[in-house]
Structure 1
Amino acid sequence: MACLRAVRELNLPDWFIAAGFVRNAIWDHLHDLPMTPLNDIDVVYFDPHDCSLATEAHYAALLQQQLPHFNWEVKNQARMHIKHQHQAYQNSADAISRWVEIPTCVGVRLIADNSLIFTAAYGLEHNWSLHVSINPHYPRPAIYQQRIQDKNWQVLWPNLMIMTAD
């Protein structure tokens, strides 16, 4: 919850902590593991009025000061469609819904009353059933296959069922 509180305090527009932060927590739970270390914590937000890299770096630095034992990755999704060769995203949830693997297309935010808001365009069934497959809206299967190879998730979570991109 400390991570969620720290990001909430930034008052970013349309923000989520996404990807591995949620996905890995579910997989850890299903494998009876303590929280596995995260390579980074992906913070996404949507601000079409300020797409500067300096602003993203500023937010990452603030989070790093507050919780220095984490590697913070902060990205404004209002500009990320260009990198991924997609149509412009409508908001953060739309951007998250376009990520490579379906179980990665998840995010969570903590709101003022301390309740959680989730985004999961494809639901959480893939996460809870330990299925990993390519997002049907991600048109580059070679990138999916490379990520599966590079991430080597089955070493940490041996019960994962990883589908090919065909």
Structure 2
Amino acid sequence: MNEQNIIKLISDDNWMMHVLRLVRSLKLPDWCVCAGFVRSKVWDHLHGFDTSTPLSDVDVVYFDADNTKETPEKAYEKVLQQLDASIPWSVKNQARMHTKNGHVPYVSTEDGLANFPEVCTAIGAHLDDNDQMRLIAPYGIDDLVNLVVRPTPFFTAEDKKDVYAQRVDSKRWKQTWNCLSIIRV
């Protein structure tokens, strides 16, 4: 499976395209829909599931260094909720998320994704005005398509290993997708 296969999987899914078009309508700077939105779709496909695994939320990220307050994120969530209340929206500006992780400021959405806990989660889909999709994957797609869960470099640090381990344990991914290989650090 390659990037074009992932783009086709998403493009062929009416619900996913609906989500991407709703987010695009906000005209957010440097945005994508990421994490479980892409990861679960690929894992479901590779496990041969006929129906999509439900998502606990739909992660929308963007980058706006000019407004790093949480208030706009909540306003965007409210707009998206009004557009489709059936979707559990979560909107985060990556220009402020470095503070949560104790990092230096991120410089883009891709930089923010690079600091997600798992490599397979650090992937997003962006839809341009012509319905052309591109993936944002700072570490590539190999772990995702090979069903490997491993920490991003930041989460291999001694003081972050427990965060990664607790997150992997709490997600219980192996119970849903039994072919996963989970790398412990």
Does TM, scored on the shorter chain, surpass 0.5? Answer: yes
Task: Spell out the pairing of 1:43-58 with structure 2 (5 A cutoff).
Answer: 43-58=60-75
1:147 aligns with 2:167: yes
Q: Which runs of 5+ in 2 are unaligned?
A: 1-16
Post-superposition Cα deviations, 1:105-160, rounded to whole Å, max 9, x if no partner, equal: 10111101101011111111101110111111333110010011100001110000
The percent identity for this pair of structures is 40
State the match for 1:24 in structure 2. Answer: 40
Instruction: For residue 51 of structure 1, report the CA deviation from its aligned partner.
Output: 1.4
Q: Distance in 2 between matches of 1:90 and 1:48?
A: 8
Instruction: For residue 50 of structure 1, report the CA deviation from its aligned partner.
Output: 1.1
State the match for 2:13 in structure 1. Answer: none
Secondary structure in structure 2 of the residue aligned to 1:108: strand
Partner amino acid, structure 1, of 2:35: A
State the match for 1:70 in structure 2. Answer: 87
Q: Distance in 2 between matches of 1:79 and 1:51?
A: 5
Secondary structure in structure 2 of the residue aligned to 1:74: strand
State the match for 1:6 in structure 2. Answer: 22
Q: TM-score under structure 2 normalisation? A: 0.87
Partner amino acid, structure 2, of 1:162: I
State the match for 1:86 in structure 2. Answer: 103
Post-superposition Cα deviations, 1:35-77, rounded to whole Å, max 9, x if no partner, equal: 1110000100111111121110010011111111111000111
Runs of 4+ in 1 over 3 A off after TM superposition: none
Q: Distance in 1 between matches of 2:154 and 2:68?
A: 24
Q: Which runs of 5+ in 1 are unaligned?
A: none
Secondary structure in structure 1 of the residue aligned to 2:154: coil
Secondary structure in structure 2 of the residue aligned to 1:47: coil
Count of matched residue pairs? 165
Partner amino acid, structure 1, of 2:38: V
